[in-house]
Amino acid sequence: MQVVGVRKSVLGEEHPNTLTSMAGLAFTYCNRGRWDQAVELQVQVAGTRERILGKEYPYTLTSMINLAVTYWN
């Protein structure tokens, strides 16, 4: 959570490294069974990547897959 906070303040909320940190934190939340928090982050990451990179960009698709897997779990 600290890394995400620092990256948001230094790099901005839409910077690729910030989004990667958010995705990593969401993965950690999944592993701990904190599904609601994981979904919240993954929705943000997928939405931002889709808006910035487009629907068919590989990182966007990966984010969407991660969200789908979280919902499935």
pLDDT at 46: 97
Number of domains in the chain: 1
What are the residues whose beta carbons fall under 8 Å from the beta carbon of 70, sequence distance 6 or more? 26, 30, 35, 38, 39, 42
- 3-class state of residue 61 by DSSP: helix
Show the domain range for 7: 2-72
Task: Enter the pTM of the model.
Answer: 0.91
Supply the mean pLDDT for the chain. 96
Residue 53 binned pLDDT confidence (cut-offs 50, 70, 90): very high
